[in-house]
């Protein structure tokens, strides 16, 4: 199976402002017409050509005749956890399923966790998505569709104020589509995000971290998960290509805007990477970096022989970091009852 997405039918959410202007200009339409349609789709959330009421009917008909649609994803299912986390399942035009998770934050706000691929090729041993392998990359439009469709699934008054590329897939392995999606959601007349309110999480693809910093310096999260190459090689095959020293060097040169912090995610696996020595090595690795550590106790699934550490061990690990003035939080497990917690995304054979 090809990891390339199927040839897109002409979905308007795939288009950049320039490509939309070019397409409409080729139809003899003025530039403001393209801008008007762009605003309908990306700022006002129109999901059909009919909704664009101030666009001439003849033009809408022509677009429809030429095969244009608005979006390639439909919300198929919304599940809500007892803790308020919501998992959205989208069906794509080729039948593939992807998920977004909406995580409640204080003040009625939500953070949206976006998928960037169907499955993932990185093969991290503790991650459910990793066990699926990669089916295919998402297109930019399929990523943007998640952002455009999510608000409509929330109760009135609730708002999404941050998007994180931490759902299914390794975003930097699908660099061009992810970059285009960031440009669209952070651009003028889009859904209103800014680089400040976007975070890309990566398992550590060093050249792509550098490229991201050059073109779209959003917040960066690194899935670190180990403090020695020996352990990281075993947990995350990507480490054999880009070992810890190279990864930390790339993070140090990332052009982080002033007063912002880098996030380091650290999945705690009982007896594997959760010892006092690991905590001390972690402090050393992050020395003089504007870092925030997010400890994620392992969320279990059938398969690998890992264990979630005890509460006591988690606290002891956290204490070592706190005592050395490292900012550290323990991620409260959210959405566990609906398989929406970190590392649990992906279609289950028994999915109801
Ligand atoms: N592929 C990207 C982004 C998605 S993974 C990346 O790896 O950064 C999101 C986070 O979930 C990563 O930090 C990963 O380390 C963590 N994770 C994966 N499987 C997990 C599990 N079973 N329990 C807890 N966290 C997990
Ligand atoms: Fe892919 Fe991230 Fe899971 Fe690793 S942790 S397999 S990179 S989704």
- Is the per-residue pLDDT at 328 higher than 80? yes
Q: What percent of the chain has pLDDT over 90?
A: 85
Asked if 56 and 81 sit in the same domain, the reply is no
Is residue 350 over pLDDT 50? no
**Does residue 174's CB lie within 6 angstroms of at least one atom of ligand 1?**
no
Spacing, Cα 59 to ligand 1 middle (Å): 45
Alpha-carbon separation of residue 129 from 58, 168, 249 (angstroms): 45, 6, 27
Instruction: Output the domain CATH number for residue 158.
Output: 3.20.20.70
Q: Are residues 50 and 91 in the same domain?
A: no
Q: Which of 265, 262, 237 is nearest to 251 (CA)?
A: 262
Verify that 82 and 195 share a domain, yes or no. yes
Residue 135, both tokens: 């089916």
pTM: 0.94
Is 53 within a domain?
yes
- Structurally, the chain folds into a number of domains equal to 2
Mean of per-residue pLDDT scores for the chain: 93
Distance 136 CA to ligand 2 centre (A): 14
pLDDT tens-digit profile of 157-186?
899 999 999 999 999 999 999 999 999 999
Q: Are residues 21 and 77 in the same domain?
A: no
Confidence label for 331 from pLDDT (cuts 50, 70 and 90):
confident
* Ligand 2 touching residue 185 (CB < 6 A): no
Q: Are residues 90 and 237 in the same domain?
A: yes
The residue from 48, 65, 82 where one domain ends is 65
Q: Tell me the H-state helices in 216-297.
A: 229-235, 238-241, 244-253, 276-285
**Could you tell me if residue 349 is inside a domain?**
no
Which pair of tokens denotes residue 1? 């199976």
Q: Is the CB of 339 under 6 A from ligand 2?
A: no
Q: Confirm whether 343 is domain-assigned.
A: no
Same domain, 247 and 99: yes
Each residue of 54-111: pLDDT tens digit? 999 999 999 999 999 999 899 999 999 999 999 999 999 999 999 999 999 988 899 9
């Amino acid at each position: 199976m090809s990891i390339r997405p199927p040839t897109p039918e002409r979905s308007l959410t795939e288009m950049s402002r320039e490509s939309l202007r070019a397409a409409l200009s080729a139809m003899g339409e003025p530039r403001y017409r393209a801008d008007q349609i762009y605003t309908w789709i990306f700022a006002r959330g129109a999901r059909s050509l009919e909704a664009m009421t101030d666009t001439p009917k003849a033009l809408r008909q022509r677009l429809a005749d030429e095969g244009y649609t608005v979006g390639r994803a439909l919300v198929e299912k919304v599940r809500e956890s007892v803790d308020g986390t919501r998992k959205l399942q989208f069906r794509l035009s080729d039948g593939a399923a992807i998920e977004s998770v909406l995580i409640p934050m204080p003040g009625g706000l939500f953070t949206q966790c976006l998928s960037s691929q169907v499955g993932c090729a990185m093969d991290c041993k503790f991650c459910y998505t990793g066990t699926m392998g990669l089916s295919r990359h998402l297109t930019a439009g399929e990523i943007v569709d998640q952002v455009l469709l999510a608000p409509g699934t929330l109760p009135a008054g609730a708002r999404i104020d941050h998007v994180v590329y931490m759902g299914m897939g390794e975003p930097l392995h699908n660099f061009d589509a992810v970059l285009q999606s960031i440009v669209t959601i952070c651009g003028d007349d889009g859904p209103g995000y800014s680089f400040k309110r976007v975070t890309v999480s990566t398992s550590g693809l060093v050249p792509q971290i550098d490229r991201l910093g050059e073109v779209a310096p959003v917040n960066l999260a690194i899935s670190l998960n180990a403090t020695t190459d020996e352990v990281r090689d075993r947990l995350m095959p990507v480490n054999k290509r880009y070992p810890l020293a190279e990864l930390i060097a790339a993070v140090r040169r990332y052009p982080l805007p002033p007063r912002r912090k880098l996030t380091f995610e650290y999945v705690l696996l009982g007896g594997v990477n959760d010892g006092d020595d690991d905590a001390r090595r972690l402090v050393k690795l992050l020395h003089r970096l504007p870092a925030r550590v997010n400890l994620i106790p392992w969320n279990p699934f059938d398969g690998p022989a890992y264990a979630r550490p005890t509460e006591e061990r988690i606290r002891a690990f956290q204490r070592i970091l706190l005592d050395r003035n490292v900012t550290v939080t323990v991620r409260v497990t959210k959405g566990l009852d609906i398989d929406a917690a970190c590392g649990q995304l992906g279609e289950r054979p028994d999915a109801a």
